[in-house]
Structure 1
């Protein structure tokens, strides 16, 4: 049977020309399932692994549809795409511009980090496609600088990540202003996020076709290095990079401070490094990613702000300097390598505090990370200590020594209780009575105290 090609899925001649220029030939599994359903007018709920071609799967059918018919409202946005991060928004805009090359359609981006007045001016030019983050788009709705009354397509890309980031209220604020008769596509690499189904019911109006493609990474070698502490991790990282062959590598940390510290460490060791985290300005982010794509830097140190949506060719290695907090976040991190069925490698540096988390992620993925070592840098920590035998474990009988036998002949020691020593020597007066006596200015008779003590004991 002949393998389908993009020309079998897309009929518009302008889009076909752009597809040929981009070198698209055979559609990926998610594209093969999602595009025909979208062309047929279905709402979609799609789950597929990172790097599987989800962006083209929602852009191509939506663009083809608006090219084929007049707008519902000429002053309204026709396609709205919501993403959790600026980086993912920028990537989608780039892909859209490539597909729109032979059309007259325009795409605009609305994200944080830029002044509202410039974005308002862009929106007044009425681009057919708007890509943005929920927080900033919510601001524009409050300023009444958007018009979604004639919206034909609403796309939520990485919806579970938006839920993780607490953006569901902004998403609902936006979708409530959109035309109800729209087509809605919800795409993500994972769908298990708690609360996602509730969001789907509020965003997708009517029935939807659900498409699930295997999410497990199938071309990524997953390994781990054990470390004693963070200083040991730094030595292991430098040695790993020096001994590995790669075109590009992304190193993930859990904090902005660690990202900055690693940037300094790697520069000191003569690596060409760029850094990406929440305190970097919009312009700096763009420059950093451009340099990384162009090969002017070969190492990108990033927090999870870069874990989703970045499609950068040539990333052959991902390093988790800190283990991800969840299995889903781990999947998105390592999904930066091994894209489009290319081989990739992911190495996690694990210390004692991260052991249980790592094992939990292994169970979640149904995988076992290969344990590797760096020559000359093997640490003391080699996993949790095995339970030490106390002589009480099941199936083990405690040995009896000669000393034990000797001790067995002694009479058992009898505990002498206070009540058995009545009237022997001086009895201790309870603190409470001493306090009363001190306050009242007199000491109670000794016999009365003894009687009270005896009554309380009995």
Structure 2
């Protein structure tokens, strides 16, 4: 099947061709016709399956074929993170570049006044995080009374992050008659409960068996002593001549420390996490995509919010505490039909986390030792000299981790106070990357 068989407008087909795509992915084949029919939709699709285009393309099609002279946006897309909001808005602009449609991206951590000005000028599509959108509703700077389509993207993550009350407050101000599209990585009981209260006679699309890792991702474990993880990572990057590597750590402090250590190894590195300003995060991600930065070190807040075409390597410098987060992390590679590699550097104190992940995946991840970095082996003279020069341990002791650590990192709003997103996360433990 080709995109032209889905009944999309020539302007959309031209934008799709500009991106080099010729055939829709499974989620796109199933979802696009249903959305065009006006059906409510409950869709399960893991990251990297093309789900953003699965709702973006038919929404754009409907906006240009059905006129509505009423004021205010006609489409509202709610997402859990700032990065995902920017990613969805970029997709809308990419596929809608031959159309005269306007989009506003609304999230905390940046000034609210430019957003107010943009909304006043008029937009057809709003992509928002729940907290900042509620700020606009409270200040009456956005009118949602004529929204025709509501999209909840990564709904499971929004529930995990404690946004359900905010979502329900937003829904209360929307028209009763509208199309609802709910996308989730899993169909857990909480998601099904939300779907029952939100969706009307929905069609169901499931192309993501629960908690399965992307099929095109090659997974591998390298056992290594904790003190030599950074040295091994630097070795892999240099010896493999890796040009683009996304590395995950558990903590924001650990991300900063690792980025500094890799830089001392002569590897261009940036860190992205919740304590970074939005401008810093945006610049780091842009530099990484452009090839100016070789390694991007991230905490789990970025696991679903980063969208990079053909990312070849993902490395778990530390395994996540929650097994589901492993699936989300490695889902950054092997996207949209391309292959990828996910490597986990596992020390002896992470054996239980590895077992939990393998139990979730229902398979054993292949393991191999890297010569010279076997557990118990002595550091090389170069490593010893480098550590002495750095006057830093290769891996500082970690603070005790709670089983379900809270997610932080939505920054401050434009008035200098913590944004609603930050306030929501500040006291919210994760239910479950």
TM-score for the superposition, normalised by structure 1:
0.79
The one of 40, 45, 52 equivalent to 2:42 is: 45
**What SS class does the counterpart of residue 339 from structure 1 fall into?**
coil
Shift of 1:16: 2.2
The yes-or-no answer on 1:260 pairing with 2:256 is: yes
| 2:413 equivalent in structure 1 | none
In the aligned structure 2, how far is the partner of 1:146 from the partner of 1:113?
18
1:156 corresponds, among 127, 152, 162, to 152
Larger radius of gyration: 1
Alpha-carbon distance in structure 2 between the residues aligned to 1:111 and 1:7 = 34
Displacement after TM superposition at 1:57 (Å):
0.4
Match of 1:208 in 2: 202
Alignment partner, residue 18 of structure 2: 21
- Separation in 1 of the partners of 2:140 and 2:194? 24
Secondary structure in 2 matching 1:185? strand
Within 2, Cα distance between the matches of 1:322 and 1:167? Answer: 27
Query: Residue 91 of structure 1 aligns with which residue?
Result: 87
In 2, the alpha carbon distance for the partners of 1:289 and 1:233 equals: 24
Task: String of CA shifts for 1:165-195, please: whole Å, max 9, x gaps.
Answer: 1111111111111112111111122333x52
Q: Counterpart of 1:199?
A: 194
Matched with 1:339 is 335
The answer to whether 1:225 aligns with 2:222 is yes
* Residues 8 and 58 in structure 2, CA contact (< 8 A), matched pair in contact too: no
| Inter-partner Cα distance in structure 2 for 1:38 and 1:191 | 19
C-alpha distance in structure 2 between counterparts of 1:57 and 1:276, whole Å? 28
Aligned with 1:341: secondary structure? coil
- The CA distance in 2 between the partners of 1:200 and 1:354, in whole Å, is 37
2:56 maps to: 59
> In 2, are the aligned partners of 1:111 and 1:137 still within 8 Å (CA)?
yes
Q: Work out the CA distance in 1 between the residues paired with 2:21 and 2:105.
A: 25
CA distance in structure 2 between the aligned counterparts of 1:148 and 1:80, rounded to whole angstroms:
8
Map 1:15-414 → 2, pairs under 5 A: 15-71=12-68, 74-192=70-188, 194-204=189-199, 206-215=200-209, 216=212, 217-229=214-226, 231-380=227-376
Native 8 Å contact 2:223 2:375 kept in 1: yes
Deviation at 1:356, TM superposition (A): 1.4
Contact 1:307 1:333 in 2 (8 A): yes
- 1:190-231 CA deviation, whole Å, 9 max, x = no partner? 333x52222223332x111111114431111111122333x2
For residue 180 of structure 1, give the secondary structure of its aligned residue in structure 2: coil
3-state SS of 2:147 partner: coil
Between the aligned partners of 2:302 and 2:49, the Cα distance in structure 1 is 17
Structure 1, unmatched stretches of 5+, are: 382-458
> What's the offset of the Cα at 1:117?
1.9
Aligned equivalents of 1:128, 1:198: Cα separation in 2: 30
Check the 8 A contact 1:100/1:106 in 2, yes or no. Answer: no
Query: Over aligned residue pairs, what C-alpha RMSD do you find?
Result: 1.6
C-alpha contact 2:222 2:343 (8 A) present in aligned 1? yes
Deviation at 1:11, TM superposition (A): 3.2
Distance 2:169 2:317 in 1: 37
User: Is contact 1:239–1:374 with CA below 8 Å preserved after alignment?
Assistant: no
Question: Aligned match of 2:9 in 12, 18, 23?
Answer: 12
Q: Distance in 1 between matches of 2:267 and 2:85?
A: 29
Q: Is the 8 A contact 1:87 1:309 kept in 2?
A: yes
Q: TM-score, normalised by structure 2?
A: 0.83
Q: How far, CA to CA, are the matches of 1:79 and 1:325 in structure 2?
A: 36
Deviations 1:385-418 (A, max 9, x none): xxxxxxxxxxxxxxxxxxxxxxxxxxxxxxxxxx
Q: Which has the higher contact order (CA 8 A, sep 6+)?
A: 2
Deviation at 1:41, TM superposition (A): 1.1
The alpha-carbon deviation at position 345 of structure 1 amounts to 0.9
